[in-house]
Amino acid sequence: MPPFSHSQYGNRVLCELSNNEIESARLSEPYDQKVFDLTKSDIPRNLIPVENKDDIDSDFDAQASSRALVSQFIDLTESDREDEDYLESDVIEEDGQDEAPEPTGTKSRPIFINVTEDPATPLRRGRLIRNQPITSPLEALEEFKLYGLKLERGTCVEFQAEDTRDFLLINTIYRNTETSQISFRGLHLRRQKYTEGLLPKQLNELVLCLDLDEDDIRPSFTQAQIDVPLENIVTVRTLKLTEEIFPLHSFRVGIHLTKDQPDYSTSRKTISNHGKLVCRYVYTRVFPSSDTRSSGKRAIESELRSVRGGEFDDIVKSQPIKGKHRSSPQLSQSQRMKGKHKSFLQDSHQTSRERTLPRLLRKAPPVTYASGCAGAGGDCTGAALSGARVKYAWDKDEAALTSLGSNHPNTRLYQVEAKDFPGNQDAKIAHTDILHLSWPCQVFSPAHTVEGPQDDENSAAIFGTYEKIRTSEAIVHMQENTAGLFRRHPGYFGVAIQEIVRAGHNVRWKVVQFADFGISSSRERLIIFSARYVERDHPLPKFPKSTHGKPGSGLPLHRSIHDAISGIPPNATWHLTEHEGYKLSAPFTIPREPYDARSMMAQCITRASPDLWHPNGKRRFTPREVAMLNGFPVDYTFYGTSKTKVLGQIGNAVPPLAWQHFVKACVATIADFRAAKIDVTGERIATRLEGNISTSRKPSGGFSLSKSVKRRSIYVLGADTPIQSIEKDELPSKRVKKATRAMVDLTLDDD
């Protein structure tokens, strides 16, 4: 073991680091695959088979000769991934590089086609499982003393990682009886400045990092722990886990450190090395498998949320997380310190009339939805299909708003620039349950290769997220944007997340393929969900599961071009029989190559998609057909002075058919939380109630009863919590019993 020595700082332990590197074994084998040269097949290169719609952006150099033929259709190029885990999903991202080559067309290279009927695999498929139970030759230790320093469960230590110094909240200490090697297992924490711009760079502010594997069924805090050998331990640090907002509990309380001080650099270094650490956030990344995670690929889903009260009490028993002074970002520091603001946790968990049985038995109000940069109303239509009430929408395009209003007559419309809403009007008009913002995305798109006059304005719009969320007082916030924002512009993406977190919201994001949700065109998009945790805690909605897939997925097959356009009536607007019919479907002088519409899917529908052509190869698609490919209802009304204007509205719109599933997930979360069917973590609560009771959650995870109300039994269902039953006396009132039975029926139906 390397020699250790005390430093001049007393508690700090210095050590010589080991240079040995451990390489984990890769035990899995790829699926059998076949290689097809699509350049020699009979399939036109402007389309993609429905059963193999790997949506690969045109990130490769192209042969100029093929650009005219395929520039408006799916790019059937080869992915640079060779692992089958990436081939079986349409939404897996690029190889993790921040900047990919600019797309200039397509490249004639073969593509791997996954011909496996069922790519589903059992847990791990024989792969090496991390964080296995401590068994022989390993033995667990209660504590370990290092030159007078006591290391035990709940101790925070600083350790030397590959590129920097990170931190470990110790959960287990163990020794290898064969080699006498001492190791520590626990939760991994990093400084906020290493979160790729997701959080501001604030001194001694940490984030808890959880890297999870989709094929690992163990609890998050179990599988995400890391192992650190003794020789990598640097020192013991003081850590505060809290759900209170910055700067409470940090070293800044009572200390004024400014850059104009002569000893600023020395003081800052001392604080960094020995000062108090605070962790307020948990950053979770989900990977398809351990192979994906260890290879450095990007996560398929991520979440950044506030630390929850009590969730680390099992590890840090001496420092329970308290949330009695959680406050709004709008409160001053003096107000927070004096505790004059209303307690957030008490407000969201205390007994209230909203949680009483008569309140729960009333018909719940509809969930309201509002849209910013709404365009022609694709997202509003999806929201209406999900059951939400579309309250208002704003956009600067008059023609697009006219289209929206003609289909949503009860929605308030505002033709304004993003920065001007709500302006001098009554701020209450902006209040809504769900706020969706679809900021201009052209500048972030992989297809954006030439600078435009509005690039600066469009890219700066994303900085208005905080203001719009705070003004709307939204419970849930949604964003839909190009996947290029996440993959190619990490700086702007970090700003987008920071704006949401600054507004007091927990947030999760994922790149999804809208074809997996019912539309007949390939459209890969970044989806962001957030839910407020400041002032009024609310569960974060989960992403919906795919509704369509490839053969072997167990889902209905992806919808083809034929599925989308075959049901259009001849008299549909912006179609064949209008007075401008010839212009809308002008025949080609030289017919294009026909294709089988029943087995093909169109490329991503954008505002620049006028050259998509009909399966017969004789003409282009009409605007109505393009709208159907993008998931609009067949009777949706579009207003515009030209075909180009209408195609622009369609291409810029969020596909309603797919979007309804995402809004429905948010609506269900809000409705279930209002009805006390789920708690603030999103876990379902199944209750049998008899009496006018309050089911307000306590920070400890229990429930409270008002003194005048009695309950017969209550069942709490959680992911890691056994069913609990609490028996109470019978109710004295027949009137209350009758009302209670109705509530029981509603609860059981929901199960």
Q: Assess whether pLDDT exceeds 50 at residue 514.
A: yes
Q: What is the pLDDT of residues 159-204, one digit of tens each?
A: 999 889 999 999 999 999 999 999 999 999 999 999 989 999 999 9
| Sign of the four-CA dihedral 646, 652, 656, 657 | positive
Q: What is the pLDDT of residues 500-509, one digit of tens each?
A: 999 999 999 9
Model pLDDT, residue 688: 43
Helix, strand, coil percentages for the chain (3-state, nearest 5)? 25, 20, 55
Q: What is the pLDDT of residues 282-305, one digit of tens each?
A: 999 999 988 888 888 889 999 999
271 and 336 co-located in one domain: yes
411 and 456 co-located in one domain: yes
- Whether 56 contacts 525, CB under 8 Å: no
In a domain, 367, yes or no: no
315 and 433 co-located in one domain: no
d(CA 421, CA 128): 54
343 and 470 co-located in one domain: no
Most confidently modeled range among 599-608, 631-640, 684-693: 631-640
d(CA 527, CA 478): 7
In a domain, 404, yes or no: yes
Give the mean model confidence (pLDDT) for residues 513-542. 92
661 and 691 co-located in one domain: no
Three-state secondary structure readout of 190-252? EEHHHCCCCCCCCCCEEEEEEEEECCCCCCHHHHCCEEEEHHHEEEEECEEECCCCCCCCCCC
215 and 143 co-located in one domain: yes
Number of neighbouring beta carbons within 10 Å of residue 188: 20
231 and 312 co-located in one domain: yes
What percent of the chain has pLDDT above 90?
43
Model pLDDT, residue 720: 34
Model pLDDT, residue 643: 86
Q: What is the pLDDT of residues 48-87, one digit of tens each?
A: 555 543 333 333 233 333 333 333 333 322 333 333 232 2
Tell me what the pLDDT averaged over the chain comes to. 71
Model pLDDT, residue 333: 33
What percent of the chain has pLDDT above 70?
62
Query: Whose structure tokens read 């006219």?
Result: 402
In a domain, 19, yes or no: no
DSSP secondary structure string for all residues of 240-305: EE--SPTTTTSTTTT----TTSTTHHHHHHHHHHHS-EEEEEEEEEEESSHHHHHTTPPPSEEEEE
In a domain, 141, yes or no: yes
324 and 386 co-located in one domain: no
Active-site pick, 15, 156, 441, 666: 441
In a domain, 426, yes or no: yes
184 and 326 co-located in one domain: yes
Q: 406 phi and psi, to 5 degrees?
A: -70, -20
Residues sharing a CB contact under 8 Å with residue 685, sequence separation 6 or more, in sequence order: 676, 677, 678, 679, 695, 716, 717
Q: Which domain range does residue 423 map to? A: 376-510+529-541+656-668
Q: Assess whether pLDDT exceeds 70 at residue 319.
A: no
Q: Assess whether pLDDT exceeds 50 at residue 589.
A: yes
In a domain, 187, yes or no: yes
208 and 337 co-located in one domain: yes
CATH code of the domain containing 270? 2.30.30.490
470 and 398 co-located in one domain: yes
611 in the Ramachandran plot: left (φ > 0), alpha (ψ -120 to 50) or beta?
Answer: alpha
In a domain, 743, yes or no: yes
In a domain, 745, yes or no: yes
β-pair type (412-415, 389-395): parallel
Last residue of a domain, one of 615, 645, 668: 668
d(CA 599, CA 563): 10
For 549-554, the CB contacts below 8 A with 24+ separation are: 549/516, 550/51, 550/52, 550/53, 550/88, 550/114, 551/51, 551/117, 552/116, 552/117, 552/118, 552/119, 552/120, 553/118, 553/119
β-pair type (226-229, 156-160): unpaired
420 and 467 co-located in one domain: yes
CATH code of the domain containing 449? 3.40.50.150
Query: Whose structure tokens read 């604030």?
Result: 202
Q: Which of 440, 443, 437 is nearest to 528 (CA)?
A: 437
Model pLDDT, residue 536: 78
Last residue of a domain, one of 608, 639, 668: 668
Catalytic annotation present for 441: yes
Structural domains of the chain, count: 3
Q: What is the pLDDT of residues 253-265, one digit of tens each?
A: 888 888 888 899 9
Q: Assess whether pLDDT exceeds 50 at residue 594.
A: yes
Model pLDDT, residue 253: 85
